[in-house]
Amino acid sequence: MIDFFNYLLNGFLQGQIYALLALGFMVIYRASKVFNFAQGELMMLGAYAVWTLTLGANLSPWLSIPLAFVCALIYGWLIERLFFERLVGESVFSMVMVTIGLVILIRGIVLVVWGAADRQFPVLLPPAPFIVGDMIFPSSLVIGAVLTLVVTMGMSWFFNRTRAGLTLTAVAEEPTTAISLGISVKRAVTLAWMMGSVIATAGAIVLLSGRSLTVGTADVALAALPVALLAGLESIGGLILAGAIVGIVQALVAAYVDPAIGGSASSIVPFVFMLLILLVRPTGLFGWRHVERV
């Protein structure tokens, strides 16, 4: 029974890391109605920025991490200005195709600048696990879960209670009307991309502390995609529950099913959720239902 609760709680914590990564998808979608398939690449770019500043430049983590967030703000701003500024008002399909192009572009840039070799990501979080009785929790997961809760609550408040957040939502829903009301659509979308880049960098720090960093690191964000879809792409608060569901089911499958079949069924659990969501409830658990009047 202790093992079961151990798997259960560790699955919950892992799910919150997925939720943090999914928040990056959601922030950009809430402001631009663009599903950013390059969110994993933004995470990878932030990870390489942290690695370069910490180990390459030999800076203290107290300095390198804030500088990495500044770098995230800069390349988030740059990406929006170079690729999305001229697409305001264009079809969603066009914007999505641009994000797919960004996947290839950012991976190419990383290969040119840092190469394909594995690199050891700096240990930025305490390596010793948290032990509560017979329960053992990796400290990175505990810290990541707390960070997810704080950031998710903050972003939910921002989008629902502040003028700037409500402006971002208005821009995404009706950009033409927003322009007619004097709202700067370009500024709003730029802010969303900058926030999405910062969140991706925070996710990289939690997920990769003490682990290997490669170009394939970006693929980890794919596991967060079903969490965003399960919550509903507009529901930031729903990420906590969606992450818990995906993380717990994946952990239990890894503990009890994988040894029985001699395979890795747990690795496909998030994507099974994604397919079921798209088939049964495309708007997710808490997504908005849009009603069109003819």
Query: Domain residue spans in the chain?
Result: 13-118+133-219
Using a 10 angstrom Cβ sphere, with 0-12 exposed, 13-18 middle and 19 or more buried, the burial of residue 23 is buried
Measure the CA–CA gap between 230 and 228, rounded to whole angstroms: 6
pLDDT at 65: 94
Give Cα 186 to chain centroid, integer Å.
Answer: 22
Q: Taking each helix axis from N to C terminus, what angle separates 239-252 and 2-32, rounded to the nearest 10 degrees? A: 140
pLDDT at 224: 85
Measure the CA–CA gap between 157 and 25, rounded to whole angstroms: 17
pLDDT at 172: 64
pLDDT at 134: 77
pLDDT at 221: 81
Give Cα 292 to chain centroid, integer Å.
Answer: 30
pTM for the full predicted model: 0.87
pLDDT at 293: 38
pLDDT at 161: 82
Provide the β-strand partners of residue 212. Answer: 120
pLDDT < 50 stretches in the chain: 290-294
CB of 104 closer than 8 Å to CB of 115: no
